[in-house]
Amino acid sequence: MIGPRTFTFLGTGTSVGVPMLGCECPVCNSTHPRNQRYRSSVLIGTPTGNILIDTGPEMRLQLLREKVKAVHAVLYTHYHVDHLYGLDDLRMMSRHLNGPVPIFCSDEVEVVIRQVFSYAFNSEREIPIGFVPKIEFKRIDTAPFKVLEQTIVPIPLKHAWFNVFGFRIGDVAYCTDVSQIPETSWPLLEGVRILIIDALRYKPHPAHLSLEQALEIIERLGPEKAYLTHMSHEFDYEQLNHRLPAGVEMAHDGLSFVF
C-alpha cells in the first residue's frame, strides 16, 4: 500500500541530547524550542499503523508529545543506548496490540536487546501483558522487507566501526548515525526525493558526518529536499538554518511532512 504516509521527527539530537547536561553554551541555554533536541528517532504513519524507528531514552515523552497512542512495529538502526534504551516503554504498546510488538532488527541488535532487557525473556512464568516488554523479533539483513504493507529497503552504513542500517521507504531515506556510506550502498540511495542525513557538528568526527560532509553527500545525491538530524549543541537553529543551501534544512523535534 502506498497511501498517504507521514514522517515525523520525534527527536533530532545527538547521544547526549540538547541541552547537554552541565553545559552553559548559548544553544544549551537557548529558549528557542528548535534548539531543544531529544535523542534521534522518527515515526512513520501509514494507513495501517505506525512504524517507529529506534526507541531512544525519551521515547515515552516523544510519543506523548505527538499524541501517538499505538506503535505497531519498530525498526532499529543499531543498538547504541541513545537509540535503544526506551524499549521498556513498548510494554504499553503490547496492551494496544493485545500481543507482542514486532521488532525488525539485525542479529547484532537482537543479541544486545536480549542481554540488556533479559528480564523480558528469562521468566519461566507467564507474565501479564504490560508487566514487561512483549516483543517478537523479525530478523532483517540487506534484503528489502515488508512492514504494515510498506516496502522497506535497508541501507548498510558505517558508524565508525559499527554496522548501522539506514532505511528507505519509497523515495524517502533516513540515514542517521553514519560516518561513511559504503560504495555498495550508494545505488540504494539513487533517486531519493527526500533525504534525512546525520550532521553532528562543524568539525569531522570519527563516528558521524560533519556538516560539510553531510552537504557533500546531499549535493552528490541531489534530492529535492534534505533534512539534517542527530545534531549537537554546536548548531544554533536561528544562526545556521538560514545559511544552508537551498532545499536543505535543519530538522527539529516535531517536524512532520507527508510523502
Q: Give the 3-state secondary structure of residue 12.
A: coil
Instruction: Check if the beta carbon of residue 156 is closer than 8 Å to that of residue 182.
Output: yes
Average pLDDT (228-244) is 98
Give the per-residue pLDDT at 122: 80
Q: What is the tens place of the pLDDT at every residue in 41-91?
A: 999 999 999 999 999 999 999 999 999 999 999 999 999 999 999 999 999
* The C-alpha cell that represents 39 in the structure block: 535523542
Residues 210, 195, 167, 191, Cα dihedral to 10°: -120
Q: Residue written as cell 516523544?
A: 62
d(CA 127, CA 105): 24
**Mean pLDDT in the chain?**
96
**Superfamily (CATH H level) for 6-258:** Ribonuclease Z/Hydroxyacylglutathione hydrolase-like (3.60.15.10)
DSSP state of 153: E
How does residue 130 score in pLDDT terms, banded at 50, 70 and 90? Answer: confident
d(CA 27, CA 112): 34
What share of the chain has pLDDT > 70, as a percent? 98
Residue 235 contacts by C-beta under 8 Å, 6 or more apart in sequence? 27, 199, 201, 211, 228, 250
Q: What is the tens place of the pLDDT at every residue in 165-196?
A: 999 999 999 999 999 999 999 999 999 999 99
* Domain locations in the chain as residue ranges: 6-258
How does residue 2 score in pLDDT terms, banded at 50, 70 and 90? Answer: low
